Amino acid sequence: MTRSAPPACDTIVAPATPPGEGGVGIVRLSGSRAEALLAAAFRGRTAPPAMVSHHLYHGRLCRRDGTPLDEVLAVIMRAPHSYTGEDVVEVHCHGGSQLLRCILDLFLAEGARLANPGEFTQRAFLNGRLDLAQAEAVAALIGARSEQAARIALGQLEGRLSQQIHHFTTELRELLLLLEAHIDFPDDDLGTLDHQAVSTRAAAVHAAITELMLTFDNGRALREGVSVLILGRPNVGKSSLLNALLGEARAIVTEIPGTTRDTVEEELVLDGLPLRLIDTAGVRDTTDPIEQEGVRRAREKARAADLVLLVLDGSQPLTAEDRMAVAMAPPERTVLVRNKSDLPAAEEPHSHPFLSHVAVSVRQGTGLAELQAAIVAHFCGPGAGDTVGGVVLAERRHRDALSGTLTALERFRAAQAAGEPYECLAFELREALAALGQITGETTPDAILEQIFSRFCIGK
């Protein structure tokens, strides 16, 4: 229930590059403990205190128990001569989202905090490293990136996982409200608190979070990757395009269960970039309420997707349904795919402000390489946003929050076993809820009170 923006004094960490399976990845730390954090994990001929500022050193990054994670190059840029004006450490490692995750976890476990959107830039500004005139630009950047981060975090939290995490919150709130009711209403005839029941329920949440954390570590818990939505009217060739992309990439991973009947999701990795390909029901002009619902969902999906592939039939003039699809596609995140390029082109109707145009023939397999290149360029090329890094970050943020919840719950159970008073137990539960609140939003005192009033007959 500490309701605060991040303090600007702790040490933050984030990937500075989008993860790719083959290339180089950079993890960046900034803050007073950056060097100490590196020292805790870096094993090389030159140890961090002896490193000269702005020089690269070769070594291995190791876990606490000494097992090596990766061969890396590390550089310390000591304050104030760094981008943020604080001590900055960069670790250049091999690419790959799994490895990047492990390295982030390593620093998080040592006490770093995941950077908020735009926080490196914010620190640079606050430490006088940026021109004063750039303040507005920095502010705009923070706003834009936060919005993007929120969109990604929500996208990651669909379905079962979201339900699970909300269930944890509900359970912990319930335990807290029992304690708080017995603290604040001693004369209200509430009966005695059932310690055994509280203990059992706390243990159940603890066990469930522990299990979920394991699936995180296996990389199975969250939807990997950025979302790419295939949009267009029925029979324009969407499903064939999906299959062609999957076939080309030869990397079908799983079919995700629990998706709605009118969308199909597939995962693939393109040039080391993890993608979720989503095929929607066709966009159809209709008055049928069920189909209207399908269209509404397609519109929602288009809004949420990281990239939209808008498929049109290049051999025919635009239909009313095509126009509906065009209207749904966000121009700054859409690649226009003109299918059936093997057939004679209809008159050139496409003067829309999309990212790029690609002509393909799914039937003949032409143009697919260009399309793949356009997708990768959008996410990894010059001008690419934080999308990919954002996905990894959002995923780590969830893990971090769950891990914090777990720590607090362990303290809660120890305190309960030691017979600490209600007030101290409530303190630990509030910490657990605050950690979980990084995903689900904070639990306000009012929310707890509201539940107390609806559960118990309060008021002498």
Partner 1 sequence: MAVRRTMSEGAHYQVIVVGAGHAGCEAALAAARMGCRTLLLTLHLDMCGQMSCNPAIGGLAKGHLVREIDALGGEMARNIDATGIQFRMLNTKKGPAVRSSRAQADRDQYRLRMKLVLESQPGLDLKQGQVVRLLEAGGRVSGIETREGLRFQAPAVVLTTGTFMRGLIHVGLVHYPGGRAGEPPSEGLSEHLRALGFVVGRLKTGTPARLAKSSIDFSRLEAQHGDSVPRPFSADTERIDRPQLPCHITYTNACTHEIIRGGLDRSPLYSGVIEGVGPRYCPSIEDKVVRFPEKDQHQIFLEPEGYASGEIYPNGVSTSLPLDVQRAFLRTLPGLEAVEIMRPGYAIEYDYVDPIQLLPTLETKALRGLYHAGQINGTSGYEEAGAQGLLAGINAALQAQEREPVIIGRDQGYLGVLVDDLVNLGAKEPYRMFTSRAEFRLLLREDNADQRLSALGRQVGLLPEARWQRYCAKLAAVATGGGRLREVRVAPGDRDTLERLGLGLLNNGASLEELLRRPEIGLDDLLFLDEQLAALPVEVRDELETSVKYEGYIRRQQDQVERTRRMETQVIPADFDYATVASLSAEVREKLQKIRPHTLGQASRIPGVTPAAIAILAVLLRR
Q: Quickly count helices (H) and strands (E) in the chain.
A: 13, 13
Q: Is 39 in the site for partner 1 (CB under 8 A)?
A: no
Nearer to partner 1, 370 or 427 (CB): 427
Residue 137 beta carbon to partner 1: minimum distance, rounded to whole angstroms: 9
Euclidean distance between CA atoms 331 and 311, whole angstroms:
13
The DSSP line for 85-105 is SS-EEEEEEE--HHHHHHHHH
CA-based nearest residue to 376, from 351, 356, 396 = 356
Q: How would you class 413 by CB atoms within 10 Å of its CB: exposed for 0-12, middle for 13-18, buried for 19 or more?
A: middle
DSSP E strands, 133-291? 226-231, 264-270, 273-279
Euclidean distance between CA atoms 178 and 197, whole angstroms:
11
Residue 82 beta carbon to partner 1: minimum distance, rounded to whole angstroms: 18
Q: Which of 49, 66, 186, 353 binds partner 1 (CB under 8 A)?
A: 186
Nearer to partner 1, 184 or 293 (CB): 184
Q: Is 440 in the site for partner 1 (CB under 8 A)?
A: no
Q: Is 191 in the site for partner 1 (CB under 8 A)?
A: no
Residue 58 beta carbon to partner 1: minimum distance, rounded to whole angstroms: 36
Q: Which of 47, 135, 343, 369 binds partner 1 (CB under 8 A)?
A: 135
Nearer to partner 1, 119 or 306 (CB): 119
Binding footprint of partner 1, residue count (CB under 8 A): 55
Beta strand pairing status for 113-114 and 12-15?
parallel
Q: Is 203 in the site for partner 1 (CB under 8 A)?
A: no
Euclidean distance between CA atoms 119 and 142, whole angstroms:
8
Residue 142 beta carbon to partner 1: minimum distance, rounded to whole angstroms: 5
Euclidean distance between CA atoms 61 and 371, whole angstroms:
37
Among the listed ranges 80-88, 290-298, 370-378, 452-460, the one in contact with partner 1 (CB under 8 A) is 452-460
Q: Is 417 in the site for partner 1 (CB under 8 A)?
A: no
**What residues line the site for partner 1 (CB under 8 A)?**
1-9, 116-119, 122, 125-126, 132, 135-136, 138-140, 142-144, 146-147, 180, 182-189, 418-419, 421-424, 426-427, 430, 445-446, 448-450, 453, 457-460
